[in-house]
Structure 1
Amino acid sequence: MPRMLDVSEDVRAEIGDEEADRLLAGETAPGSYDCTSCRTPGDTEQERTSTVLFVGDETAVLAFAHATCIPSQVVQVAEDQLQGAVRSITGEEPGTAAGAPDTGGGQAVLGVTSGLVLINGELHPALVVEPTAPIARPGTTGNGGDDFLPLLIEQGFVPVHALDQMPGTLPGWSVLLAMGQLHAVLQPSAPGGGPVAWWQAHQPLQVTDGWRTAANKSHRVLVFAAPVGSIGQQPREDLLRDALEMASAGGRLVAAAMPLAGT
């Protein structure tokens, strides 16, 4: 039986016309599935369904999602992450992870904390990014300075003076939530190229059901960033907010809103 599948041109180009047609005809597509975005059941015979192709260096995985959650697309994922997803690795402790930044500066590790932030009476899914060491500007020889915030402002992040206003959306950037877990923050690459990872989890990072529900409702994540030593790993969301408010009051916080990419 034909399926209500959306197969984007990019996905078709990767899997080939023959396989795409077999999917649409229902020969290889599942009837029911768990949405790779919101993790709730879906049915390809009853509702529009997106085909999402996760591609690594050697491995490709075709997943399915509600079309109302995400569009059909190809998502580039690190091979080790893709292998980890295939093996259903559970990831690190909820709320924390680390990856290598591509800020153009030093090779510091970025710590990432997930949480819900209340703005104007509404809870928003947020990520808080803080390096483990100062970030140097490209081409400089570590002089003890920290150019993390200036580099991000040049990329389009905006200074946060108070946590009562929504930051604007940063074009070309997005947050990859794959198979219900946080995988990466993506940034634009050279013109004509696909998105590349600015931050990437060593292992998929678990987020709370409340965080994932809020993200799938708004299709948007707020990303806050602060220099090393500004936020720390806060065990509760009220303490995280206190740390964010202190950083913003001290002029040490920038932010941007980013859409969900992939799942």
Structure 2
Amino acid sequence: MPRMLDVSDDVRAEIGDEEADRLLAGENTPGSYDCTSCRTPGDSGQERTSTVLFVGEETAVLAFAHASCLPSQIVTVSEEQLQGAVRSITREDGTVPTEATPSQAVLGVTSGLVLIEGELHPALVVEPTGPIARPGAAPGGGDDFLPLLIEQGFLPVASLDTVPPVLHGWSVLLAMGQLHAVFQPGPHGSAPVAWWQAHQPLQVTDEWRTAVNKTRTVLLFAGPAGSIGRQPREDLLRDALDGAAARGLLAAGAMPLAGT
């Protein structure tokens, strides 16, 4: 039975016309699936469905998502992330990979509006739940999250007086008014890599969505575990950011919005 399937040009080029045509004809497409974005059931025979191709160093996995959650696309991930995605898709565990580091810590993400130079800016605040080790480092070697961010182009922040510079090649995916992922440049000019991907799309406030639709840019502030904390109000979040900056524990960058 033909499926209500979206196969992007990029995905078609990667899997080939023959395989894409088989998918569209329903030969290799499951009728029901768990959306790779929101993790709720979908039915490609009843609703628009996107093909999402996860590509690692050696392998690739084709997954499916509600078209309302994600467009059909290629997502480049590390081999470690890809194996995590396979476990998630096959329900060996209930998580979607969130980062490309070997640490077991998870990136906590909070959205909020930050006042800089008299204007409210849509922002994401990222703090791991535990120390992040440098890839290849011995266990217990300390927290390298902040140095790794700076090596990737984030700017150390001493105060929140000015808007941080744009991180070229980075972007924030917002679809149907919900946060889905933060992408970083792929290695050697390849397709963007999912630096953080939501286990379930994150809701944002109407005010945040209005601000980001105006600026088309998101400010991302990040600090090591314990530097910011999960703050219930934006005024407390701003105080925590100011405190982290004053202690030299904050890095930031601006990145364009992808999606709507």
Quickly name the TM-score band, shorter chain normalised. Answer: 0.5 to 0.7
Counterpart position of 1:222? 219
| Structure 2, unpaired ranges of 5+ | 1-7, 18-49, 54-61, 77-84, 90-95
CA distance in 2, matches of 1:223, 1:160: 11
CA distance in 2, matches of 1:62, 1:143: 42
CA distance in 2, matches of 1:117, 1:54: 36
1:159 counterpart = 2:152: no
1:216-242: CA deviation from partner (whole Å, max 9, x where unpaired): 111100000011111111000000000
Equivalences, count: 201
Shift of the alpha carbon at 1:60? Answer: 5.9
CA distance in 1, matches of 2:242, 2:228: 10
- What CA RMSD, in Å, does the superposition of the two structures yield over aligned residues? 3.3
Counterpart position of 1:202? 199
Decide which of 119, 135, 139 is 2:136's aligned counterpart: 139
Counterpart position of 2:47? none
Contact 2:10 2:74 in 1 (8 A): no
1:74-130: CA deviation from partner (whole Å, max 9, x where unpaired): 464979999xxxxxxxxxxxxxxx96222x352311101100000000000000000
Question: Normalized against structure 1, the TM-score is what?
Answer: 0.66
| Structure 1, unpaired ranges of 5+ | 1-7, 17-52, 64-71, 83-97
Structure 1 residues 60 and 247 mapped into 2: Cα distance closer, same or farther (>3 Å)?
closer
Structure 1 residues 177 and 131 mapped into 2: Cα distance closer, same or farther (>3 Å)?
same
1:176 counterpart = 2:192: no
1:58 counterpart = 2:63: yes
Contact 2:52 2:72 in 1 (8 A): no
Structure number with greater CO (CA < 8 Å, separation at least 6) is: 1
Question: Normalized against structure 2, the TM-score is what?
Answer: 0.67
* Paired residue secondary structure (1:59): strand
Contact 1:73 1:262 in 2 (8 A): no
**Superposed counterparts of 1:37-186, under 5 Å:** 55-56=52-53, 57-59=62-64, 74=73, 76=75, 100-102=98-100, 104-186=101-183
CA distance in 2, matches of 1:196, 1:54: 17
1:41-60: CA deviation from partner (whole Å, max 9, x where unpaired): xxxxxxxxxxxx77352326
